[in-house]
Amino acid sequence: MILVRQRRPAIRRALVEIPAGLLGQREEDTLSCAARELLEETGYRHTQIEFLGGVYTTAGFSNEYVHLFWARTEPASAAEPEAGIELVRRPFAEMLIAARAGRISDAKTALALLLAEARGVVAVR
């Protein structure tokens, strides 16, 4: 897996998480946004990408909805990662174990891992 480590000012620390970002334009669809954010944050282009599901992050006080995708990438990066982002590579199985054990602090990352496994889009060895 290609993950990103970046500082999150709201919690005053860095998190390891899946690449993510905001819809850039009203006419941008969620799949195009996911592909764009993957390239911007990691420097990698996708060869395959698929919607996993989505979730309201904090429905008690926000209407933020996160669309979750999984992607396969080209073997080599096409660009440098976005400034302030460190790429982290980990085996999917290792990250899945961490998600199941509650050791992933970022909710979207934990949910994406669990959904990818449940949908069978990533083979666990």
pLDDT digits (tens, 9 = 90+) for 17-62: 999 998 877 788 999 999 999 999 999 999 999 999 999 999 999 9
- Look at residue 112 and tell me if it is in a domain: yes
* Residue percentage of the chain with pLDDT more than 90: 88
The domain that holds 90 is classified in CATH as: 3.90.79.10
For residues 21 and 24, what is the distance between their CA atoms, to the nearest angstrom?
8
For residues 63 and 21, what is the distance between their CA atoms, to the nearest angstrom?
16
3-class DSSP assignment, residue 96: helix
Nearest to 18 by CA among 114, 123, 120: 114
- Look at residue 88 and tell me if it is in a domain: yes
| Sign of the torsion formed by the C-alpha atoms of 119, 108, 21 and 59 | positive
pLDDT over 90 (residue 122): no
- Look at residue 124 and tell me if it is in a domain: no
3-class DSSP assignment, residue 5: strand
Q: How confident is the model at residue 1 (pLDDT cuts 50, 70, 90)?
A: very high
- Look at residue 53 and tell me if it is in a domain: yes
3-class DSSP assignment, residue 41: helix
Structural domain harbouring 27: 2-119
The total number of structural domains in the chain stands at 1
pLDDT score, position 124: 60
